[in-house]
Amino acid sequence: MNEWTLIEQLKQGDETAFKTIVETFQNIVYNTALSIVQNAEDAEVIAQKVFVQVYQSVQSFKGESRFSTWLYRITLSKSFDHERRKKRKKRFAFIRSLTETKNEGPVHVADFHHPGVVLDRKENAAIIFKAIRELPTNQRIAFTLHKVEGLSYQEISEVMEASISSVESLIHRARNNLKKILGDYYSKRN
C-alpha cells in the first residue's frame, strides 16, 4: 500500500492506516527526536506526541510536500518545544533552590546513548552529541538531519523550508563550529 493511500485512509479515520504509519515511521521520528533531545525517555514521549499530532492534524496535510517532510517538521518542532519546556523547568528549579534551605544536591543528566552508535564508540558519540547541542538551532537541525538521519540537502531544504545553498552553508558552518568546540574540549582534557 502506498503512502498516499494510507494518508487518505487516515483522513477517513482508519485506525489500521494510522497503525501502519506509526510502524513505518516510528524509528525515523524516535531517532530524530533522540538526536535533538539526547534522552531516550524524552524521545519516546516526543514520538508519542508527534503521532498524536499527526492523527489530529492529518486533515491539514495537503500533500504539497512529502509526508516524511511534514513528519520531520512536526518532530523537530515537538523536540525543540520539549527542550524549551525543560529549560524553563530547570530555571524555575534553580530559582526555587535559591530560596529553599534544603539542599538536595545537583541533578545529573543520564548518560546519552543513540541506538545507531556502536558500543565501543559511545563515549566519543556522547561528546560529539554534546557538542552538537551547542550549535545554533538551524545549524543543529541541518547537521543532524544530514549526518545523523542521512537526509540529502534537497530533503533538508524541504524540511527546513530553506534553499539548498542555505542548507549547504548551515552544514558547513556547523562542521566548522564543531571542529572548534571539539578542539577546545580535547585541548582542555590534555
Residues 23, 27, 32, CA angle at the centre, nearest 5°?
140
Q: Which helix (H) or strand (E) holds 175?
A: helix 164-189
| 165: amino acid identity, one letter | S
- Please tell me the predicted confidence (pLDDT) of residue 40: 92
The pTM (predicted TM-score) of the whole model is 0.69
Residues 8, 12, 155, CA angle at the centre, nearest 5°?
35
* Domain locations along the chain: 1-110, 111-190
Output the tens digit of pLDDT for each of the chain's 190 residues.
688 888 999 999 999 999 999 999 999 999 999 989 989 999 999 999 999 999 999 999 988 889 999 999 999 999 999 988 887 766 555 555 544 444 444 333 345 555 555 555 666 777 888 888 899 999 999 998 998 888 999 999 999 999 999 999 999 999 999 999 888 776 776 5
- Please tell me the predicted confidence (pLDDT) of residue 4: 86
Pick the CATH number of 111-190 from 3.40.50.2300, 3.30.300.130, 3.40.50.300, 1.10.10.10: 1.10.10.10
* CATH architecture observed for domain 1-110: Orthogonal Bundle (1.10)
Whether 1-110 shares its CATH topology with 111-190 is answered no
In whole angstroms, what is the distance from residue 153 CA to residue 73 CA?
A: 15
- Please tell me the predicted confidence (pLDDT) of residue 112: 53
